[in-house]
C-alpha cells in the first residue's frame, strides 16, 4: 500500500510550484499569462527562488522549442507529441498554443486529486478552453483531439497509465518529448526506472486498440461550451505497490498486460507482452547502449564549463525524421551528501516529503548514466548554477538585476548547484545554444 499522507504532501508541492511561477512571472522574469489562473492568492517569493524559477522555466522551454524546431519545418505543421509527467498546474501547453505551436497529442499526467482541480480551472476559463477545442470531461480527466489531462499514479505506469495513453492515441512512432519536473525523484527507482524502460521499449502496447474515449465515462461539451456536471472524484485504485514478479499476470480489464521479470546480474530484462491472444517475448540488453555509443557519448563532469560544452561537437546530431525520435527531459535535485543537501532533505522530511530518487541518481554523472542504462543514444546534464552562468546572456542578466537585486549570492550558488537539468535522446540530440 502507498502512504496516503505522503502522497498528499507530495501533491502539496504543486501549489508551491504554482505560487513560485506566478511570483516570478508577475514580476516580469518571464511571461506566463495563465499563471494567475492556478493560484488562489499571490505570494511573493524571495529573489533567490524567483531566479531559480526563471532558470527552470526558461531553459526547459528553450530546449522543448529547440527540439520542436529541429524536427519541424514549421510549428503549424508538426507531428510531435508531448507527455508531461506530474504536470500539476503547468501551463506550457496553453502558452505554446497561444504562440501558434501545434501538436499531434499533448498528455498531462498527475494524481486524480490534482487533475480534478486543474480540470475545474480550465473548464471555467474561456481563454484556456479555447486552446483545447471540442472536449469531453469525466473521471477527473479532460480528453480532446490533442490535449489530454490524464489521471493516474505513475508508480503503476505500465499497468495503468500507459494503456490509458495508448487508448487516447499515443504512439511511439511519433516523435515524443517526455518532461519530468521534480517528479521521478519522488518515486523509488523501481517505479521511475520502469517508466524509462517503457519509453525505450520497442513495443507499442495496445497499438491496435486505439480509441478516442468511452462516451459512458466522459461528458460532452454542449453547444454553448458548458459542461455536464462533473463526475465525482475517484480515489486511487492501486492497492499493491510491489512490482510484478516473473511470470505473474495481473488483470487490467480487457487491456493488454506487461509482465516484467528482472534477471539478477545478467544485464538483461525479459519482457513478456500479452497482446490479445498472442504472446511476444523479447530480451533487451539494457547495457548495450554503453558499447554501441561509448565512442560517441562524452560524460560531462560536475564542473562542466561553457568551453567544454561548446567543444563537445561530437554530440551534435540532427533529428532522424525516419526513425524513432525520443527526447526525455528532467529537472531534479542532486548532491544529497553535502551539508546543504542534508539540510535540503531535512526541510523536505519535516513536511513529510521524501525524494528517494536522489540517492539513486545523486550527481550529474549518474543522472546521465541513468539514460544510458535504458538505451538512450545521447545524454547530458548541467546544474542550474552553470545554466545561469553560461547559458543566460549578460544582457538578460542585466535585465533580471533591474527587476530584483539578488543579495543572497552565496545562497544562490549553493541552491543552484543542487538542482540540474538532464536529458536523454534517441534519434535526435538536443543541445542548448550558448549565449
CATH for 115: 3.40.50.150
212: pLDDT strictly greater than 80:
no
pLDDT-derived band at 321, boundaries 50, 70, 90: low
Inter-residue contact 374 to 422 (CB < 8 Å):
no
| 12 occurs within a structural domain | yes
Q: How many domains does the chain have?
A: 1
**Which range (12-21, 102-111, 147-156, 304-313) has the least confidence?**
304-313
Portion of the chain with pLDDT greater than 70, in percent = 70
* Most confident region among 216-220, 258-262, 271-275 by mean pLDDT: 216-220
pLDDT-derived band at 368, boundaries 50, 70, 90: very high
Arithmetic mean of pLDDT, 343-359: 97
> Between these two residues, 364 and 74, which has the higher pLDDT value?
364
Q: Which residue in this structure is represented by grid cell 521511475?
A: 192
| 178 occurs within a structural domain | yes
Inter-residue contact 100 to 107 (CB < 8 Å):
no
Domain that holds residue 313: 4-239+290-426
pLDDT of 432 reads 79
| 269 occurs within a structural domain | no
> Hey, what's the cell of 63?
530546449
pLDDT of 276 reads 27
| 200 occurs within a structural domain | yes
Q: Identify the burial level of 11 via C-beta atoms within 10 angstroms of its C-beta, where 0-12 means exposed, 13-18 middle and 19 or more buried.
A: middle
Binding site listing: 56, 86, 153-154, 181
384: pLDDT strictly greater than 60:
yes
| 347 occurs within a structural domain | yes
| 264 occurs within a structural domain | no
| 253 occurs within a structural domain | no
Binding site listing for S-adenosyl-L-methionine: 56, 86, 153-154, 181
Q: In what order do the strands lie in the sheet with 219-220?
A: 219-220, 135-138, 141-144, 147-151, 105-110, 81-85, 176-181, 326-333, 419-426, 378-383
pLDDT of 236 reads 28
Inter-residue contact 147 to 168 (CB < 8 Å):
no
Q: Identify the burial level of 211 via C-beta atoms within 10 angstroms of its C-beta, where 0-12 means exposed, 13-18 middle and 19 or more buried.
A: exposed
Between strands 135-138 and 219-220, the pairing is: antiparallel
| 431 occurs within a structural domain | no
Non-local (6+) Cβ contacts of 369 within 8 A are 299, 361, 379
pLDDT-derived band at 423, boundaries 50, 70, 90: very high
Arithmetic mean of pLDDT, 318-322: 55
Inter-residue contact 425 to 378 (CB < 8 Å):
yes
pLDDT of 189 reads 97
Arithmetic mean of pLDDT, 111-136: 97
Amino acid at each position: 500500500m502507498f502512504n496516503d499522507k505522503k502522497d498528499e504532501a507530495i501533491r502539496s508541492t504543486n501549489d508551491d510550484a504554482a505560487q513560485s511561477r506566478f511570483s516570478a512571472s508577475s514580476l516580469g522574469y518571464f511571461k506566463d499569462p495563465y499563471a494567475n489562473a492556478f493560484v488562489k492568492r499571490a505570494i511573493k517569493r524571495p529573489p533567490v527562488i524567483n531566479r531559480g524559477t526563471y532558470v527552470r522555466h526558461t531553459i526547459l522551454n528553450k530546449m522543448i522549442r529547440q527540439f520542436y524546431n529541429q524536427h519541424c519545418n514549421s510549428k503549424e505543421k508538426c507531428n510531435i507529441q508531448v507527455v508531461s509527467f506530474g504536470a500539476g498546474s503547468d501551463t506550457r501547453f496553453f502558452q505554446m498554443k497561444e504562440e501558434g505551436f501545434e501538436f499531434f497529442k499533448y498528455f498531462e499526467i498527475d494524481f486524480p486529486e490534482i487533475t480534478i482541480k486543474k480540470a475545474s480551472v480550465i473548464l471555467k476559463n474561456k481563454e484556456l478552453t479555447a486552446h483545447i477545442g471540442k472536449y469531453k470531461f469525466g473521471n477527473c480527466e479532460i480528453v480532446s483531439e490533442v490535449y489530454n489531462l490524464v489521471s493516474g499514479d505513475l508508480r503503476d505506469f505500465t499497468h495503468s497509465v500507459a494503456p490509458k495513453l495508448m487508448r487516447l492515441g499515443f504512439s511511439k512512432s511519433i516523435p515524443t518529448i517526455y518532461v519530468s519536473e521534480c517528479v521521478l525523484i519522488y518515486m523509488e527507482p523501481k517505479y521511475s526506472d520502469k517508466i524509462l524502460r517503457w519509453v525505450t521499449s520497442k513495443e507499442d502496447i495496445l497499438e491496435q486498440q486505439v480509441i478516442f474515449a468511452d462516451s459512458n465515462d466522459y461528458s460532452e461539451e454542449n453547444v454553448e461550451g458548458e459542461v455536464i456536471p462533473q463526475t465525482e472524484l475517484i480515489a486511487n485504485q492501486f492497492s499493491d505497490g510491489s512490482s510484478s514478479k516473473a511470470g505473474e499476470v495481473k488483470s487490467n480489464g480487457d487491456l493488454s498486460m506487461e509482465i516484467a521479470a528482472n534477471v539478477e546480474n545478467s544485464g538483461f530484462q525479459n519482457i513478456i507482452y500479452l497482446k490479445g491472444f498472442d504472446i511476444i517475448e523479447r530480451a533487451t540488453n539494457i547495457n548495450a547502449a554503453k558499447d554501441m555509443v561509448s565512442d560517441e557519448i562524452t560524460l560531462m563532469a560536475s564542473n562542466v564549463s561553457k568551453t567544454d560544452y561548446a567543444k563537445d561537437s561530437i554530440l551534435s546530431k540532427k533529428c532522424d525524421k525516419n526513425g524513432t525520435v525520443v527526447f526525455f527531459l528532467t529537472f531534479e535535485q542532486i548532491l544529497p551528501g553535502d551539508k546543504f543537501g542534508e539540510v535540503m532533505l531535512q526541510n523536505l522530511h519535516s513536511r513529510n516529503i521524501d525524494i528517494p530518487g536522489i540517492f539513486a541518481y545523486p550527481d550529474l554523472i549518474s543522472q546521465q548514466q541513468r539514460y544510458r542504462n535504458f538505451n538512450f543514444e545521447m545524454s547530458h546534464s548541467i546544474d542550474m548554477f552553470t545554466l545561469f552562468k553560461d547559458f543566460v546572456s549578460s544582457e538578460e542578466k542585466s535585465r533580471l538585476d533591474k527587476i530584483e537585486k539578488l543579495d543572497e549570492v552565496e545562497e544562490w550558488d549553493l541552491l543552484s548547484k543542487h538542482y540540474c537539468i538532464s536529458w536523454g535522446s534517441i534519434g535526435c540530440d538536443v543541445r542548448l545554444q550558448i549565449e
